[in-house]
Amino acid sequence: MINIIEKSKELRYVAVYNKLFKMINEGTFAGDCRLPSEPDLAKDLGVSRSTLRQALALLQDDGLIKNIHGKGNFIIKSHKDKSVGLEKIGNVVYKCLQHDVDSVEINFHIEPPTDYFTKILGRITVAAVSIDRWYKSNENAIAYTYTIIPIETISTFNLDLNNNDEILHFIEDEIYNKCSSTSIHIKLSSSGTFATKKYSISSESQYYLIEEAIYSDSKYPIAFNKHYLPLSNTSININSIRK
């Protein structure tokens, strides 16, 4: 019998990964609970901390655990209800964020046309509405979206800019029922530390930046979103099918 941990140093982390994977899936650790500290866990498994960290990195890649800076490693509760990925039109934040959102704070104002708006929207507009959204859980901001809507969209859908709830409902839900298509680009961003404005959504140095152009039977978008999501609490899924 070959002992992988003893005989193959380069595969040592794989054995540790398999052990932790089994323990997590068999319920040895409760869902959403904190794993033992790295020194304690390494001691319990009889491996070095460097080997343990390699295994933990793989578990993070597989979406089984998340690391919260200064707090430790936590098991991620399974989200079976999020089987629909970005291949379907819908709110990107709710599809990707691995936290339940209990409130959304919104702030918006009208701005004159700028070169940036023209580039993003593909045309010169009379004005545009800039919208900030902070997604919150237990009063803590956990995701942020910046939205640009040309004033023409406001007129087309007869939206009342004096009604915050109406604007929020439109950009959160109704716009995805009204649109014909979306275009999504996924990037890594280091600007999230300041781009999220009044709230910090994570202590991480990088974020997922998901840019989303929303169309309605036109080559020009009716809205453009920049979604900032923390790496540790985000899972991006795309379910492809053969046509």
Which residue(s) pair with 172 in the sheet? Answer: none
Query: Mean pLDDT score of the chain, rounded to an integer?
Result: 87
3-state secondary structure 75-110: ECCCCHHHCCCCCCCCCHHHHHECCCCCEEEEEEEE
Residue written as token pair 């707090």: 71
Higher pLDDT, 36 or 132: 132
Are residues 104 and 218 both part of a single domain?
yes
Let me know whether 139 and 202 are in one domain: yes
Residue 235, pLDDT score: 86
Angle at 121 between CA 172 and CA 169, to 5 degrees: 15
Q: How many independent structural domains does the chain possess?
A: 2
Determine the Cα–Cα distance for residues 54 and 60; give it in Å rounded to an integer: 10
Of the listed ranges 77-81, 109-113, 131-135, the one predicted with least confidence: 77-81
The per-residue pLDDT for 13 is: 86
The pLDDT of 174-180, averaged and rounded, is: 96
Regarding whether 198 and 109 lie in a shared domain, the answer is yes
More confident residue, 71 or 19: 19
Q: What is the mean pLDDT of residues 178-198?
A: 90
Cβ–Cβ < 8 Å for 144, 196: yes
Q: Kindly report which listed range (79-88, 175-184, 227-236) carries the lowest average pLDDT score.
A: 79-88
CATH code of the domain containing 168:
3.40.1410.10
The answer to whether residue 240 sits within a structural domain is no
Residues 138 and 181 in one domain: yes
Question: Are residue 122 and residue 163 in the same domain, yes or no?
Answer: yes
Q: Largest alpha-carbon pair distance within the chain?
A: 75
* Six token digits for residue 104: 């959304």
Residues 192, 174 share a domain: yes
pLDDT for residue 70: 75
Assess whether pLDDT exceeds 60 at residue 109: yes
* Residues 45 and 28: beta-carbon distance below 8 Å: no
State pLDDT tens for residues 69-105. Answer: 777 888 876 655 456 789 999 999 999 998 889 999 9
Residue 236 corresponds to which tokens in the numbers above?
């991006």
Shared-domain flag, residues 98 and 183: yes
How much is the pTM?
Answer: 0.74
Enter the tokens of residue 233.
């609490």
Residue 90 domain flag: yes
Mean pLDDT across 184-197: 88
Of residues 174 and 68, the one with the higher pLDDT is 174
Average pLDDT over residues 189-211: 88
Show the domain range for 195. 80-233
Domain assignment present for residue 241? The answer is: no
| One domain, residues 84 and 188 | yes
**Lowest mean pLDDT across 106-110, 153-157, 185-189, 204-208:** 204-208
User: Would residue 65 count as lying in a domain?
Assistant: yes
Is pLDDT above 50 for 207? yes
Mean pLDDT of 48-77: 83
Residues 153 and 33 in one domain: no
Residue 176's Cβ-side half-sphere holds a number of Cα atoms within 13 Å equal to 16
One domain for residues 181 and 68 = no
